[in-house]
Amino acid sequence: MPVTSRTLVADLAAAIDGPVSVAGWVDTVRDQKKVQFVVLRDESGAVQLVHPRTDAGEDPQPDPIADAISALTAGTFIRVEGDLKHDERVKLGGLEVKVGRLDVAAAALDSPIAEDSSIDKRLDYRWLDLRRPEMNLLFRVQTTLLHAMRTWWVDNGYIEIHTPKLMASPSESRAELFQVPYFETTAYLAQSPQHFKQMGQAAGFGKVFEIGPAFRADPSFTSRHATEFVSVDAEISWVDSHEDVMAMHEQLLAAAFAAVKEKHGAEIEALFGVEVTVPSLPFPRIPLAEAKEIVAARGYTVPRHDADMDPEGERRISEYVKEQLGHEFVFLTDYASSIRPYYHRRHDDDAGLTNSYDLIFNGAEISTGAQREHRIDVLVAQAQDKGLNPDEIGEYLEFFKYGVPPHGGFGMGLARVLMLLLHLPSIREVIYLFRGPNRLEP
């Protein structure tokens, strides 16, 4: 009896021997004189197909299946009906499907990335690159990571919001904004949902989160920058300091990493050679000035004493934290007000420092968080201190006139988290379709 319902490769191990239908794309073909083998791959795994030929030997018979298999190219999508057999001698999963019928759904040309597998070539043909098992697993990990974070937030009473990505006025640095024509005026693509999620605090929502796109007109060609990326954001009311934000942030990540390890830990170790570590709580906290002293003592001086920690400094402080404290994460805290935005709350006893932090993970910064300044008079003064005209940020200041509770939050780059979690060399590997200064396709 023909089989009409498709079975995923991952479900074959639990199926009984007998008729089965599978579908996917051709990974490899071994076209031998007496028997043919095809490795079929679908979204869940790979299985070996086998076909004993009848068109060879002393009494050859017409064999349309053999002809069809001989004509297959890698990447061709096929549907196969046949008999499943569990056989521990089969190296690929201990089972195979003897082909009874083979239909070609869509033939494929030879892959252009088979010979040239450079990152730029693979990005040109990203849909082919994504067929690799590593890429399939990566986006399953991303799905689990985001689902776990959403679950943690929802379970803890947060409201999910979706903020606009078209803005009437600049939010932070005009130099890093994309301008787009908007009817009779100009709009800007949002760098972050920063100001909009703060509106949620003025609205009395208490705790909000968003996972959505953000845009930076930053002409950087580094391994950790993109012009369009997914930003993971949260904002909470009634904080006493940035410590409350850090506590929320570390609990969120610990829950997310635990979910990834439970569901994908073995596969990640097999395909990426990485053991997922669920971070212990609390994460280490080191003031920025002290962190610079630590890396200086280890042989590296951050070029400017009044600047942020640079990439090499981030790597060095991560090495220190891993060696001395056994942790992959570290909060760098107490950033100088001179290198932080005007809306970061300053220390009550030292206006030169802010209630803010950067979160470093496996050698690179993945997030910035802070307590925000909620008092409009102080906010205006801090904006003026930065050389800003309050009239230019009037839209942002407007909702503060009607009362906003003490609040804080963070923004975190999803791609960087995945890149560092899986120890990959570039965020280009972990973004579904990468956008950078010289890439707008595919």
Sign of CA dihedral 277, 141, 143, 200: positive
Question: Helix, strand or coil for residue 259?
Answer: helix
For residue 202, how far is the Cα from the chain centroid?
A: 30
Is 216 a known ligand-binding residue?
yes
CA dihedral 217, 222, 223, 227 (to 10 degrees): 10
| Among candidate residues 131, 126, 127, 145, the one with its CA nearest the CA of residue 421 | 145
Is 285 a known ligand-binding residue?
no
| Among candidate residues 369, 306, 367, the one with its CA nearest the CA of residue 343 | 369
Element (H, E) at 86: strand 77-86
State the first-to-last Cα distance of the chain, in angstroms, to the nearest integer.
43
R_g (Cα) of the chain, nearest Å: 27
Is 413 a known ligand-binding residue?
yes
The DSSP bridge pattern shows strands 285-287 and 329-333 to be parallel
d(CA 423, CA 272): 8
- 3-state DSSP: the chain helix, strand, coil percent, rounded to 5? 35, 25, 40
Query: If you search the block for the tokens 């051709």, which residue do you land on?
Result: 26
Question: Is the Cβ–Cβ distance between 6 and 21 less than 8 Å?
Answer: yes
Residue 372 burial (CB count, 10 A): 26
Is 373 a known ligand-binding residue?
no
Is 415 a known ligand-binding residue?
yes
Question: Is the Cβ–Cβ distance between 316 and 298 less than 8 Å?
Answer: yes
Query: If you search the block for the tokens 């030997």, which residue do you land on?
Result: 57
Is 172 a known ligand-binding residue?
yes
* Structure token pair of residue 431: 């973004």
Is 433 a known ligand-binding residue?
no
For residue 441, count CB atoms less than 10 angstroms from its CB and return exposed for 0-12, middle for 13-18, buried for 19 or more.
exposed
Residues belonging to the binding site for L-aspartate are 172, 216, 368, 372
- Show binding-site residues: 172, 216, 365, 368, 372, 413-416
Binding-site residues from annotation for ATP: 365, 413-416
